[in-house]
Structure 1
Amino acid sequence: MATHSLKQISNNTNSKALKIYPEKAKPDGGLHDTIALKLSKEQAIELVTRLLMAAENWDKIHLTAFRQGNKITITSQQPDF
């Protein structure tokens, strides 16, 4: 299966967050159990609109948050045809 971005549906596949928590990994190098996204009203509307477009076209959606740059991407793995 190949990973596909929302570019097939929309020009922009990235969204931004005001902040992505936790800001750093645990001191022992372990993973956190949860993450949090802090969004403005405009960012929330943009993200949910893109998620809706993805949900209308794909059965499974990958939402990835990057601490560096507070970037959020929407992708999906779809079978190659």
Structure 2
Amino acid sequence: MTTLTLTEDEIRELTKRKQRKVQATMLRALGIEPKARPDGSLVVFRAQIEQLLGGKPAGSGKRLEEPEPDWSAV
């Protein structure tokens, strides 16, 4: 079962950084906007990562149809 958010270990693996402030900077550089909890820990939603990195699209879970060439033009 996948979780709604990345774990602290997954954030550390993604950013290659240990300090939360530096992790947030790295995530923003990757186009990911982290949220901060009251205790200072970061929240990164898994759906945002999957959408950004080409995993399943956030939302419906339906597969996007790929465009077909216009064979009548050949």
Question: Normalising by structure 1, what TM-score?
Answer: 0.35
Between structures 1 and 2, the one with greater strand share: 1
Calculate the TM-score normalised by the size of structure 2. Answer: 0.37
